[in-house]
Amino acid sequence: MITFNHVTKRYNEEKTAVKDLNFTVEKGNIVVLLGPSGCGKTTLLRMVNRLESISEGNIVINEQDSMDLNAIELRRKVGYVIQSNGLFPNMTIEENVMIVPDLLGWTKKEKRERFDYLMKLIGLDPKIYRKRFPHELSGGQQQRIGVVRALAADPPVMLMDEPFGALDPIIREKIQDEFLQIQREVKKTILFVSHDIDEAIKMGDKIVLLRDGEIMQYDTPSEMLTHPKNEFVSQFFGKDRAIKSLSLHTVKNLQEVIGLAHIDDAIEDTKTINVNQDLRNTISMLLNQEADQVIVTDDQGERIGSITIDLVQKYLHFEIKGKLSVSQEG
Amino acid sequence: MNTKKLIGNSFRFFIYGMVLLFFIWAIKNQYFSYIFSETGTFFVLLRQHLELVLVSSIFAILIAVPAGILITRPKFRKAEWLVTNIVNFGQTIPSLAVLALMISVLGIGFQTAVFALFIYSILPIFRNTVAGLDTIDKNLIDAAKGMGMKPHQILFRIELPNAAYSILAGIRTAVVLNIGTAALAYVVGGGGLGVWIFTGIQLFDNGFLISGAIPVTLMAILADYLLRKLEYVLVPKGSRRVAKA
């Protein structure tokens, strides 16, 4: 858990980067700091591990004031991932990943076992990569190593500064999925900086939307999309926020609420979609093909029904439009 | 690509040929004879020359590398321009003038020559140390700090290994220059192979000149070769490619 109490960052009399922030990151949650550039999100992140000093207020990490600990000790307890992976070119992958355990004085055997475990977590063969150097890896692999390095000493709290920002869209999406998978297993408390709305919606259990060092709204992604608190929030998420919010719902959610349609056998040439896919992808699939239905399959590949634009619209009406209209009234 | 290679190769063989011709010419005229007829003196001069180079280079490394590290620490950053300018100024004075100036302070002899060579070697080592440390990606330092590395751990585990290529290149430049410049030690009575070279010039005796100059040249080439090998050993494998790119 990370709690921010009246946290303020002032560079000098005129310039205040972060203004009196109060919020809590619950244990095991990912909270995304989102906002336009220069809104203070990276500064706020770096205040947690004291790479930036705190002018006023305090930050409490798991019941301990961050100022009570020595900065070095604090940083070893908090995982840190940066955008340009930050791998050290002079060290092998194993040495890179095991930096914090090494600083903490783990034994050789402990380090080796941990390295093997971590590499398996990201699906890379520890034997192959142990003695390799960073420059021998692809950008995606390097970033995975960067993430795993922050997990090395099993810190309860992680800070991630646009960790996937430098990757191309296809690899970024893949690594995001992979990371969410890992997070389900390790359940870290994570503060995540992003400027990408789609990434924030996908990764965040909650989002902090910042502007000029102030919180515009702190909410779950769906609340933010359906109930924007003010003009800035609704503008930031854009006119298409109803469509964006579709990516928060899966075909499975729709099936649970209104059920799927029967498969129309008369139509031969249609695509299939996994039941765990989100509705945003489903809609674009429906719009991209001639047939007006897409066959839904479960994880075993069994056809369990079909989905149509009408169904999505119906679901939208129940789930999203309802909420949207409420917000417009209020 | 092939024509480039061809030109490169033919140029190389041309140079080899010229060197070979030179040696045939020199040996025919018995220009190396002093090395054999005055072997005792030759080895004394060779030893003096090596001592001049070694002592001055070691002192220069001991001063310039730590100075380069110190000046790149955040605390001393502001003084960088001052120190760099002083060191640069030292380099603009011709080596003969440095020697002449030193005579008035230290008198004549070995120590004067060593001191002048030492002054002269500082700049390349210092400049390359600073450049090597400055070109390290700031994100690496940030990542190291963020993971809880102490300043000395950052220096020894991250900065120095990644700057090693540049620092060693500076040392190599300094040592090779030093071997040539050490021939001037004769002027202040510092000894070394310069004694034969200057004797040769004064007596118009190619025998003395070449018996002194060729060993100096070979020494410089050998030092360059050995220090390159040392770079290969000392620069971490992962940084090597980055350094060359």
Residues A109 and A209 in one domain: yes
Which ipTM score applies to this complex?
0.78
Q: Which residues from chain A sit within 8 angstroms of residue B236, using beta carbons? A: 89-91
Closest CA to A326 of A227, A237, A234, A259: A227
Judge whether A244 lies within some domain.
no
Measured CA to CA, the distance from residue A129 to residue A121 in angstroms comes to 14
Judge whether A18 lies within some domain.
yes
Residues A81 and A216 in one domain: yes
The pair phi, psi for residue A9, each rounded to 5°, is -125, 120
Split into its structural domains, chain A has a count of: 2
Q: How would you list the strands of the sheet with A56-61, edge to edge?
A: A16-25, A2-10, A56-61, A64-65
CA distance A90 to chain B (A): 5
Residues A93 and A234 in one domain: yes
Residues A131 and A47 in one domain: yes
At which of A189, A220, A239 does a domain end? A239
Let me know: does B124 contact B170? Beta carbons within 8 Å.
yes
At which of A174, A204, A239 does a domain end? A239
CA atoms within 13 A on the CB side of A174: 12
Residues A270 and A234 in one domain: no
Closest CA to A293 of A280, A281, A310, A278: A310
Structural domain boundaries enclosing A192: 2-239
Q: What is the mean pLDDT of residues B196-212?
A: 89
CA–CA distances in Å: residue B207 to residues A108, B44, B170, B203: 64, 18, 34, 10
Residues A83 and A165 in one domain: yes
Judge whether A12 lies within some domain.
yes
pLDDT digits (tens, 9 = 90+) for A152-176: 999 999 999 999 988 888 889 889 9
Q: How would you list the strands of the sheet with A272-274, edge to edge?
A: A272-274, A293-297, A303-308
DSSP one-letter code for A208: E
Interface test with A, best of B137, B138, B147 (most A CBs within 10 A): B147
Let me know: does B34 contact B42? Beta carbons within 8 Å.
yes
> Do B137 and A84 count as a contact with CB atoms less than 8 A apart?
yes
Q: Which residues from chain A sit within 8 angstroms of residue B147, using beta carbons? A: 75-76, 80, 99-100, 103, 149
DSSP one-letter code for B170: H
Token reading at A131: 């003695």
- The reported pLDDT for the residue numbered A146 is 93
Measured CA to CA, the distance from residue B153 to residue B168 in angstroms comes to 21
pLDDT above 70 as % of chain B: 98
How buried is residue B12: exposed, middle or buried, by Cβ count under 10 Å (0-12/13-18/19+)?
exposed
User: Considering CB atoms only, which of A100, A134, A149 is closest to B238?
Assistant: A134
- The reported pLDDT for the residue numbered B175 is 95
pLDDT above 90 as % of chain B: 48
In the predicted model, is pLDDT for residue B84 greater than 90?
no
User: Considering CB atoms only, which of A88, A92, A134 is closest to B158?
Assistant: A88
- Is B39-244 a domain of CATH 3.40.30.10? no
Residues A37 and A182 in one domain: yes
Whichever domain contains A314, its CATH number is: 3.90.1280.20
Strand pairing report for A189-194 and A214-219: unpaired
pLDDT digits (tens, 9 = 90+) for A116-144: 999 998 889 999 999 999 999 998 899 99
Measured CA to CA, the distance from residue B199 to residue B42 in angstroms comes to 13
Let me know: does A97 contact A118? Beta carbons within 8 Å.
yes
- The reported pLDDT for the residue numbered A323 is 54
Greater model confidence, A140 or B91: A140
